[in-house]
Chains A and B, each alone.
Chain A
């Protein structure tokens, strides 16, 4: 069974002649353990699809279900619970909280998921160790480089072991080496059982993904399985 199932999803901004159709009847499903890339040119609907899949925006029509349950976009409390327990987010511009240290930024998500502060702190240190930033745990975001900030952001997304991770252009602002490090982290999360959806327009990033969904003008034009295509896809 697909962990995330999207059915006939449409999204329209504005009304009348100036209305913009960001998504037109998109349907697909993602299972746990899959690393899916959303690809396409700017304005094709990637961010809209991620926002709806990430439960931060409601669709104009169609629906989605997570773990077999249909999502009610009117229930704000329920959406917040889904976001803090099941979903993890990686942003293009990192969106770390500037007042918190690297370690504190990572502990936010497990704490929100109801984990004790001791366990959350241990998990944060474990993740920082894994990404080679244990010496930076007391640094605040403005003291880190772009690559370091994105690695901390990925750690934050993984810290509460979410079942669905949504990443919007996570390597868009990084150099190649840092980008590869981030993609490795996401790939590892997929291998550990999370469903990962990543919006990207960089062809080299697709090599880490087992499946590529291509969008054009809000329509799904291609859903391609690229397992075993190269050395990266199977981890």
Chain B
């Protein structure tokens, strides 16, 4: 480098342009944002929306997972063993034997558990030793008869809060008798179940003396002993107990916790998928927004590069922009995202409640503002924004300096790009196939998600290859519209083509995600409706309140079932009951069910995936039916056997069951009753005689059983409830679809603005030549329609494939049950048309935003 004179001084040391970069950062980056307020608002708004959506999903996911964990740990962290009977209550003799078996190690706490009504709210009542009930009460046993666990349904009844000291009164009804208890709202150390009241046994005995037999026994480690117990101890205790009474089952916290952990993992996976999908779509939005911002700076970058700014300096300038936009956008996103967090959290919790924890009350969500979470949120927003700005910054780094009015571009072979895209396309296709095969053969859901990601890449490449051809011929395609042909011909320029491809990719990706989810939901809904119609084909469904409790389900006694059968207008009553069993170390439900009427008529209308219903084998106990998820977990197929009560029973049919994802074994009612020595039913289905009035029969059934103890539903009501359950389960999917649609449209709008900005000078010229703003908007709308057609085609194909992968691979691997693929063509066509119309609207809007200038703008380039 030669020495250069600057007046009297040498410029030997003038090698750093750092000061200039700082100057440019101040006057270039910040001022550019200030001088184009509309564009700045748009870009920062897009970042804020993206950050808000992303944060809402992350924070809501975190809060609901924590809430889930807290709720489940409430039932599994008592540090006790629970002993309960499979088919009957626990007698005083059983309690005494248990005490002898465990010795001084544990304290024996017998519990009486049953359902009662507090007003119209069903409440689980636990009768327990008075000293234990009040052990956490600082003031000792006072005037209160018991406590209630402070969960919202009960608190609303007694208008009390956990912090309240004074006891409150609550009226309970059970077995036709009612009485008023004095209780305190307090967290109980033993259990935290929803709608639970813990009463002193003596108070309970005064109210219901006949409720004296115990339903379970807690084995509480004594304080002076080590509070923990090993699995070996539990195993020894189980073995000792099995010699004495095989109906008694010991359940440890660790096992309950393990079951809860598997549920929590499934829920966490759902949340993770939601967060990842939101991250992908919001990432695209932010990246698009940053590109729009950077695009306007590219010409200036070229000038600066010519004047001597290095590639690093140019990228630093754009990164500063990204940091500023990210910081402001993230702050706005955090501010605007907070209400969104609450909405998404409640959707998630509602879904989780119905799917995973029907018998538990969720702990309150911890959504309060916390410095750590806010800081993390801000950091995530910054990272996403800077990552979004990184690509334009790298582009700026490689900007070619130019001296001429028009950049002289070294010829780049577009055909080589097409070859590269073609090779990548084939690679992605092979990758999808390999990942799906691996997912199925290894039963690893991760491979299915990998296939979904590769499918996304395949879709993008397909769109890129298609759009280059279509946009290149755009002016020819619509040559018959002479008034706008001049404008549209401009779209065939290379710079326009690149931007069109980007906007089309955004639309295709959004449509694919929407259709994929829509196909999954439609298939699920239709399959579920068909399944309900086939499985619940009787006229009335009766179930005692509390029948879903896995530890101690409420049942209908044989006398109650007989009373139902005696109601006038009832033709037949079909009984069902079940409990958890271990088969080959796998825990699943064994159900006894009547699938024939007393005359031997076959009433099994359920859908079989393999095998068939054989009334003779099933009714006589020489064969069992397996649910789909049960067959998968036990790895059994038709003809293979399962050992139940020491007998090998062949599997005669595999059927669809959407009620228990852990699997069900179904056996005939009579053999089940013989095995369990118990005729009580968990639920019954009733068929009416011809001409039976559903309202009258329902009323009479409620009268003979007691309306407070049972839920009596007509099949229509049952289907409505299942529909409602379905809707709440998939509420989060609706939110996700809304987010995807919003982000897709925002992304398309931004890409369209970028597209029209790229062609600003061309449009200014035609405005100068006499084209009105209205005609510009119409031309843009037509162009939007034409350019989005390949997006709709590619998006529909990719969405169909995505839906198929979700149904055929992700769903069975996640839940263990299969769905039939149902396409609602009207939905697909409407979505496609809606996307085309929205694209037209966005294009016209984008053109309106960019070309607000008057025709005079065509004369000046600066």
CB within 8 Å of B: which residues of A? 13-15, 47-48, 50-51, 54, 56-57, 66-69, 76-78, 80-87, 89, 91-100, 104, 107-109, 111-117, 141-142, 149, 156, 160-161, 163, 166, 168-169
Among candidates A56, A82, A94, A161, residue contacting B402 with C-beta atoms closer than 8 Å: A56
Chain B residues whose C-beta falls within 8 Å of the C-beta of A95 in the assembled complex = 303, 306
Chain A residues whose C-beta falls within 8 Å of the C-beta of B402 in the assembled complex = 51, 56
Find out whether the CB atom of B2 lies under 8 angstroms from the CB atom of A68.
yes
Chain A, Cβ-Cβ closest to B18 = A114
Chain A residues whose C-beta falls within 8 Å of the C-beta of B5 in the assembled complex = 161
Say yes or no: is B31 at the interface (Cβ < 8 Å to chain A).
Answer: yes
Find out whether the CB atom of B862 lies under 8 angstroms from the CB atom of A99.
no
A213–B7 CA distance with the chains assembled, in angstroms: 31
Chain A residues whose C-beta falls within 8 Å of the C-beta of B410 in the assembled complex = 13
User: Closest CB of chain A to B852's CB: distance in Å?
Assistant: 15
Chain B residues whose C-beta falls within 8 Å of the C-beta of A108 in the assembled complex = 20, 23-24, 304, 307
Find out whether the CB atom of A47 lies under 8 angstroms from the CB atom of B403.
yes
Chain B, Cβ-Cβ closest to A114 = B14
Chain B, Cβ-Cβ closest to A52 = B403
User: Closest CB of chain B to A67's CB: distance in Å?
Assistant: 4
Find out whether the CB atom of B1 lies under 8 angstroms from the CB atom of A81.
yes
Find out whether the CB atom of A161 lies under 8 angstroms from the CB atom of B6.
yes
Find out whether the CB atom of A54 lies under 8 angstroms from the CB atom of B403.
yes
A-B contact pairs, 20 of them (CB 8 A): A13-B408, A13-B411, A47-B404, A56-B306, A56-B400, A83-B307, A85-B14, A89-B306, A98-B300, A98-B862, A99-B31, A100-B28, A109-B307, A112-B308, A113-B14, A114-B13, A114-B14, A161-B6, A163-B4, A168-B403
Chain B, Cβ-Cβ closest to A13 = B411
Say yes or no: is B159 at the interface (Cβ < 8 Å to chain A).
Answer: no
A91–B306 CA distance with the chains assembled, in angstroms: 11
Task: Across the A-B interface, give the 6 residue pairs with the lowest CB-CB distance, nearest first.
Answer: A84-B308, A114-B14, A111-B20, A67-B2, A83-B308, A56-B401
Chain B, Cβ-Cβ closest to A140 = B35
Query: If A97-B300, A99-B31, A100-B28 touch, does A114 touch B15 (CB 8 Å cutoff)?
Result: yes
Find out whether the CB atom of A81 lies under 8 angstroms from the CB atom of B303.
no
Chain B, Cβ-Cβ closest to A116 = B19
Find out whether the CB atom of B306 lies under 8 angstroms from the CB atom of A83.
yes
**Could you say which interface size class chain B belongs to?**
35 or more
Chain B residues whose C-beta falls within 8 Å of the C-beta of A54 in the assembled complex = 306, 403
Among candidates B16, B17, B309, B408, residue contacting A57 with C-beta atoms closer than 8 Å: B408
Query: If A99-B35, A114-B13 touch, does A80 touch B310 (CB 8 Å cutoff)?
Result: yes
Chain B residues whose C-beta falls within 8 Å of the C-beta of A109 in the assembled complex = 307-308
CB under 8 Å from chain A, chain B span 239-297: none
CB within 8 Å of A: which residues of B? 1-2, 4-7, 11, 13-17, 19-20, 23-24, 27-28, 31-32, 35, 300, 303-311, 400-405, 408, 410-411, 860-862
Chain A residues whose C-beta falls within 8 Å of the C-beta of B13 in the assembled complex = 114
Find out whether the CB atom of A99 lies under 8 angstroms from the CB atom of B28.
yes
Find out whether the CB atom of A114 lies under 8 angstroms from the CB atom of B309.
no
Find out whether the CB atom of A51 lies under 8 angstroms from the CB atom of B31.
no
Residue in A69, A76, A108 whose Cβ sees the most chain B Cβ within 10 Å: A108
A90–B270 CA distance with the chains assembled, in angstroms: 60
Chain B residues whose C-beta falls within 8 Å of the C-beta of A114 in the assembled complex = 11, 13-17, 19-20
Query: If A85-B11, A111-B19, A114-B11 touch, does A51 touch B408 (CB 8 Å cutoff)?
Result: yes
Find out whether the CB atom of B408 lies under 8 angstroms from the CB atom of A93.
no
Find out whether the CB atom of B307 lies under 8 angstroms from the CB atom of A112.
yes
Among candidates B6, B309, B862, residue contacting A84 with C-beta atoms closer than 8 Å: B309
User: Closest CB of chain B to A87's CB: distance in Å?
Assistant: 8
User: Closest CB of chain A to B204's CB: distance in Å?
Assistant: 80
Chain B residues whose C-beta falls within 8 Å of the C-beta of A69 in the assembled complex = 1-2
Residue in B13, B23, B400 whose Cβ sees the most chain A Cβ within 10 Å: B23
Find out whether the CB atom of A86 lies under 8 angstroms from the CB atom of B27.
no
Residue in B4, B7, B16 whose Cβ sees the most chain A Cβ within 10 Å: B4
Find out whether the CB atom of B23 lies under 8 angstroms from the CB atom of A51.
no
Chain B residues whose C-beta falls within 8 Å of the C-beta of A112 in the assembled complex = 17, 20, 307-309
Chain B, Cβ-Cβ closest to A76 = B311
Chain A residues whose C-beta falls within 8 Å of the C-beta of B860 in the assembled complex = 142
Find out whether the CB atom of B27 lies under 8 angstroms from the CB atom of A100.
yes
Among candidates B23, B400, B403, residue contacting A89 with C-beta atoms closer than 8 Å: B403
Chain A residues whose C-beta falls within 8 Å of the C-beta of B400 in the assembled complex = 56-57
Chain A residues whose C-beta falls within 8 Å of the C-beta of B309 in the assembled complex = 80, 84, 112
Find out whether the CB atom of A168 lies under 8 angstroms from the CB atom of B28.
no
6 new A-B contacts at CB < 8 Å, known A91-B405, A161-B7: A13-B411, A86-B4, A93-B861, A96-B862, A97-B303, A116-B19
Chain B residues whose C-beta falls within 8 Å of the C-beta of A82 in the assembled complex = 1, 308
Find out whether the CB atom of B411 lies under 8 angstroms from the CB atom of A14.
yes
Find out whether the CB atom of A111 lies under 8 angstroms from the CB atom of B17.
yes
Find out whether the CB atom of B4 lies under 8 angstroms from the CB atom of A117.
no
Chain B, Cβ-Cβ closest to A111 = B20
User: Closest CB of chain B to A86's CB: distance in Å?
Assistant: 6
Chain B, Cβ-Cβ closest to A67 = B2
Chain A residues whose C-beta falls within 8 Å of the C-beta of B1 in the assembled complex = 69, 78, 81-82, 85
Chain B, Cβ-Cβ closest to A162 = B4
Query: If A108-B20, A115-B14 touch, does A50 touch B403 (CB 8 Å cutoff)?
Result: yes
A168–B308 CA distance with the chains assembled, in angstroms: 17
Among candidates B2, B19, B35, B408, residue contacting A117 with C-beta atoms closer than 8 Å: B19
Chain B residues whose C-beta falls within 8 Å of the C-beta of A15 in the assembled complex = 411
Chain A, Cβ-Cβ closest to B23 = A111
User: Closest CB of chain A to B242's CB: distance in Å?
Assistant: 80
Chain A, Cβ-Cβ closest to B24 = A108
A161–B408 CA distance with the chains assembled, in angstroms: 27
